[in-house]
Structure 1
Amino acid sequence: MYTVLGSGVDSLVIGFCVSQYRDIESFKILEQAKTDAGEKLFGGKGTSITWFGKPFVVHARGTKGYEWVLENGDVSICIARKAEGGRIYPEIYVTFRAEYLWANTARTAVYDIKHWIGTWAIVVGDKVSRCDLCIDLEMNMPSINLAQDVVTRARGKTEYYGSLPAEHYVNGQRDTGYRFGQGSIIGRIYDKSLEVVISQKEWFQTIWSTNGWNGESAITRVEFQCRRDFLKEMSVDDFWSLTERMGDIWRYCAQDWLTIRTHGNDSHRYRWAMKDWWNTITNSFDLFGEAYGIVRYKKNSFRYEHLMKQARGVLLTAAAVCGVSLGTNYGCKQIDFETDKWFNSKEFKVEVQNRMALVGGMKEEKLPIIVMEAIKLGGQLIN
């Protein structure tokens, strides 16, 4: 039996779309602070200011289209000069620091910052760019055989870690961590008790002690870094939808995308028994909220306009074939009759329903059991 000593959002990046800044004159303070920071010799770290009641350090340079970069112990904020309602990119880009998230919960931290931003800007929406979910287990850092223990459906099928890039980290004779994947999902398993000491995040020890930690046993963290492309495939756009999907995101990551198993004799590797400690990880999705059975929807690259041009060409040829001997009018009427009969048939609608799963990138073996059972009872997949 493994004890969970902590779970939550460890990193969060959100872009806020702004239609208008309430007082553009207030930005003169940022402009001056940025200028002052640039004039400091020998690599000054910025200029300290208080802006709308919060202390910040303003950097000497902006970044990637953002004019001002502000930082404090809670957040890093990038601000664009012009407000365009998020038409090009979110005007305000906020990175929440781990200590702020753990001290307040992600929901409270986001609502507090959004309320503060609302005092100097009109926020019309938000977009989640990155979210890291994690669980801390009271256990020694496991030794994982990358060639045998790691089973994944990262490529839409059950296989070893071979198609999922993996890295193994050691410190002397001690395993310190593993990293899996790249791009929109990255999984990490590492010695958090060691990392806390190295990074001077001893405040984590207070959280663990509150949940029953004895102050000595090792802590292993399992963490999934989720970026925007994957989040969109899990029906996440804004922060509200993220709070509704966290349970499903963890379930997908720890049940479908990555699993750590005991090597067995069954040729179907996904039937191998999970490691006891990974069972705890898999079954802890409810720590992030209710799981509704949401399916990862990975849209394939089909272009509607291109398909319609192809269909038009085929219908033109079919009409010409019918009209060669009987005339143009007959050929067009015959095609109209055939297509109308087909489009309104029950069989056509069933075929469309089946093709939707293919177009959406949802293969049958990837559907959760609850969804498969619903389809058997007459349920339908809808876009």
Structure 2
Amino acid sequence: MKFQLDKPKILSQHVDTLVATFKSVDEHEYNKYIIKTLSMLEDFKIDAQNVEGFSNKSRFCKCEPFDGFGTFKVFAQGMGAYRYILENQDVMIFLSNAKFGTDMPQIKVEFRAHYLFSVGQNKAYEYVLKLIDVLLGCKYESSIQRLDLATDIWGVKLEYLDAMRFQNSFKNSNYRQGSKQTGISFGGGSFMFRIYDKLIEIKNSHSKHYVKTKWIVNGYDEALNYNVTRFEAQFRRTELKKYIPQHTSNEIAYVFNHLGNFWIKALQKIKYAPLTNDECLRIADGTLKADSKRQIFNRARKNEDRFQFQKFLYHWDNSISDFPIEYKTIQAPKIEVAKRMLKGFIATAYKAVDGNPRALTDVLIGMQTDMYKFEQKTLHDYGLSKIIDSFIKQEKMKNKVGVQVDFDYSLIAHDAYFKLAESLGSIDAINKFIPSINQSESIEDYFPKTYEKVS
């Protein structure tokens, strides 16, 4: 490892992946509720099967099967013994139509990484338990099937010889992008540990940008151009059972209360040591006996002049792991989003007019003309409306998940609303212009004082 800071900085620690199963323990109540649920899902699944598409992911129907839980996709095909698959922006749910008493759990839930990151594992689990109560309608047993723990560290850069700095019997794999070392993995199956350049992953996948929100709060400075490396432990069921006491009534709650212990268990398996490059090359040579290799590792771990990175990694801070922030608005920095969308607009515009150098101007003028002709609105009016729309969605999400936002947009939205009201000339015009408003609401519910001013 190359350390770019005197002491690396932990930017995030969190549950990155969580899979849980739920099994009914009350036959009468199960049969009473599940038959209705499965019958409803079967109807939605038939609707989804009528949708044409090139892949199973594209064949689904949207519905609101459970009161108070919003819109779900119900897919045309199940998976294995799970006949029904549902998903929303937070979770993916697998349901079986198995009879009561079979060994297989009736429900499996996969938590989305973005959801876990945004509201924290505890609040995410509370939401799922409410949903399970609706689905099963009776007492159940829960178990944890997979747990991934992640730590993002600023100022640590992977090097070519790093695989030699770990003393374990796991099979390891190196990952590269061109001549650059981008990652190492150890193990597989029930346990795996991955170390990789998180900035490269973010660059290659825009959907991963949201993690930067938390990094910045914890001191990350992109201008310094230091690496951020993710250290990630993956436990599957076979491995998890080794560390959960028998007859634990709530496995997931137990794991949440002992995240630090699970993290240390993972680090003890991979056994990092601060070897020099020369020591790595001696080990890689293949001529040393096993006892000589052990002595090299032991001396490195006892050498206080070397940075004992393994001990640094042992730290697990629950205040960093459970870090609720503004949900569903976590994304790439605003300017990055704007630049990316502008690139897409340019590409579309040039294709539409065969590369005419006036493409951008022509498209903007045409859009402005059409909007004013048919809706009596300007592009600036439209921009103001999107500010208000985002604010309303934020308020709804705050009420849904109870998370305080990291930045209050109410004053900005208030000012935009006042300007838009002046421009459009009526409150009704604004209500029609903001997508987030439905029939049971009005914009005045969000800005009552402003409504009094402009009415």
How far apart in 2 are the matches of 1:89 and 1:276?
A: 48
Question: Which is worse superposed, 20-29 or 94-103?
Answer: 20-29
Aligned to 2:124: 109
State whether residues 246 and 288 of structure 1, in contact with CA within 8 Å, keep that contact through their aligned partners in structure 2: no
How far apart in 2 are the matches of 1:10 and 1:98?
A: 5
Deviations 1:184-220 (A, max 9, x none): 1100000111112212111111111111111343210
Aligned to 1:255: 268
Aligned to 1:47: 61
State whether residues 135 and 221 of structure 1, in contact with CA within 8 Å, keep that contact through their aligned partners in structure 2: yes
Cα 1:16–1:267 change in 2 (3 A) is: closer
Aligned to 2:368: none
The match for 1:212 among 212, 219, 228 is 219
How far apart in 2 are the matches of 1:277 and 1:128?
A: 33
The match for 2:151 among 118, 135, 139 is 135
The match for 1:283 among 287, 297, 314 is 314
Q: Secondary structure at the match of 2:134?
A: coil
2:160 is equivalent to residue 150 of structure 1: no
State whether residues 138 and 219 of structure 1, in contact with CA within 8 Å, keep that contact through their aligned partners in structure 2: yes
% identity of equivalent residues: 27
The structural deviation recorded for 1:76 is 0.7
Superposition TM-score, scaled by structure 2 size: 0.57
How far apart in 2 are the matches of 1:277 and 1:66?
A: 47
Aligned to 1:363: none
The match for 1:193 among 172, 181, 199 is 199
State whether residues 70 and 78 of structure 1, in contact with CA within 8 Å, keep that contact through their aligned partners in structure 2: yes
Aligned to 2:242: 233
Question: Which is worse superposed, 218-227 or 23-32?
Answer: 23-32
How far apart in 1 are the matches of 2:163 and 2:310?
A: 20
User: Which structure 1 residue ranges, 5 or more long, are not aligned?
Assistant: 153-162, 290-383
How far apart in 1 are the matches of 2:10 and 2:110?
A: 26
Cα 1:89–1:23 change in 2 (3 A) is: closer
2:43 is equivalent to residue 32 of structure 1: yes
Superposition TM-score, scaled by structure 1 size: 0.67
* Alignment map for 1:1-383 (pairs within 5 Å): 1-18=7-24, 19=26, 20=30, 22=33, 24-43=35-54, 44-52=58-66, 53-82=69-98, 84=100, 87-121=102-136, 122-145=138-161, 148-152=164-168, 163-200=169-206, 201-216=208-223, 217-235=226-244, 238-263=251-276, 267-274=294-301, 276=307, 278-279=309-310, 281-287=312-318
How far apart in 2 are the matches of 1:173 and 1:56?
A: 44
How far apart in 2 are the matches of 1:249 and 1:23?
A: 35
State whether residues 13 and 316 of structure 2, in contact with CA within 8 Å, keep that contact through their aligned partners in structure 1: no
Q: Secondary structure at the match of 2:100?
A: coil
Question: Which is worse superposed, 220-229 or 141-150?
Answer: 141-150
Deviations 1:228-287 (A, max 9, x none): 111101126620221233222111211344324315687435414357373355331354
State whether residues 247 and 288 of structure 1, in contact with CA within 8 Å, keep that contact through their aligned partners in structure 2: no
How far apart in 1 are the matches of 2:160 and 2:179?
A: 14
- Greater helix percent: which structure? 2
State whether residues 205 and 215 of structure 1, in contact with CA within 8 Å, keep that contact through their aligned partners in structure 2: no
Aligned to 1:368: none
The structural deviation recorded for 1:98 is 0.5
How many equivalent residue pairs?
A: 278
1:127 alignment partner AA: S
